[in-house]
Amino acid sequence: MNILDSFSLKGKVALVTGGSGLYGRQMVRALAQAGAKTYMASRNLDKLAEFAGALKEEGLDVFPIAYDQGDEDSIKGLLDDILRQDGKIDVLVNNSVARSGHIDDLTAEKLDEDFNVNATGLILMCREFAKAMADSGGGSVINIGSIYGLVGYDNWLYEGTGLQKTGGAAYYYNKGGMANATRFFAGYYGSSKVRFNCIHPGGYETPATPADFKENYIDKTFLKRMANDTDMMGIIVFLASDASSYITGANIPVDGGLTAK
């Protein structure tokens, strides 16, 4: 077999949650370009449908579907809808995230809402979809973490910018937990040929990125830039495909070398 053939996702069924976000959009496009029938899911169906329409004009096989990761019945319903349509699910990209805000503004209620999506919801997504994958012979789950799940809080990013420090304690907690939950699920479902890996993206540059913030960020990277509109595409296709068939339980930074310092 030609090695390039192992990267193909033709005949595969994939789902990207949070599919209309900054990173989600390029992940959906990548999986669809590689040949997968790709579902994209979030609470905002209108936004998903708009993006899916644009991708269909590019000839890509993409379908929007609504769900709420904070609701167990919605998670199970999402899986049931895909299985009803296609009979299987081969690839899951867990990209949905809720943000509860600055540490100084957190309440117990806000934290409960946050953890319901980012902890409870994530675990339920991993379990339900992995069970379906195991029943059909295997699959790949790709969790989307963050560099903030790998490192501690540091003020360096905001020095001299005049911006409020994020102080997202719950975000650090959830993304750090995601790294080890990935290892747990990799071990638990490994014998069923369901692989679990986690990628940890770095900062994404947009036209709205403040110049001082950008300067601070790129100074900490080896590649001297922030992430762009295509930087997640290759790693997503690789981990979704048979090209990575012997990789599971891995936490992979995609951050221009920032966390390697």
Residue with tokens 């930074």: 253
Helix ranges (DSSP H) in 122-220: 122-135, 169-189, 211-219
Residue with tokens 């929007």: 64
Asked if residue 259 belongs to a domain, the reply is no
Asked if residue 258 belongs to a domain, the reply is no
Least confident span in 23-32, 204-213, 237-246: 204-213
Asked if residue 261 belongs to a domain, the reply is no
Asked if residue 193 belongs to a domain, the reply is yes
List pLDDT tens digits, range 170-182. 999 999 999 999 9
Domain range for 233? 3-253
Measuring CA to CA, which residue among 118, 88, 83, 86 is closest to residue 101?
118
List pLDDT tens digits, range 107-141. 999 999 999 999 999 999 999 999 999 999 999 99
pLDDT-based confidence at residue 154 (cuts at 50, 70, 90): confident
Asked if residue 260 belongs to a domain, the reply is no
The one catalytic residue among 23, 148, 171, 217: 171
Average pLDDT, the chain: 94
> Between these two residues, 245 and 1, which has the higher pLDDT value?
245
Q: How many helices (H) and strands (E) does the chain have?
A: 8, 7
Measuring CA to CA, which residue among 23, 52, 50 is closest to residue 38?
52
Q: What are the tokens at 47?
A: 């936004």
Count of structural domains, the chain:
1
Report field, pTM of the whole predicted structure over 0.85? yes
Asked if residue 64 belongs to a domain, the reply is yes
List pLDDT tens digits, range 2-27. 999 999 999 999 999 998 888 999 99
Beta pairing partners, 91: 14, 140
Q: What pLDDT score does 1 carry?
A: 76
**CA dist., res. 185 & res. 224, Å (int):** 34
Q: What pLDDT score does 85 carry?
A: 97
- Please compute Rg for the chain using Cα positions: 18
Asked if residue 83 belongs to a domain, the reply is yes
Asked if residue 149 belongs to a domain, the reply is yes
- 158 catalytic residue (yes or no): no
**CA dist., res. 178 & res. 48, Å (int):** 25
Q: Looking at residue 68, which CATH number applies to its domain?
A: 3.40.50.720
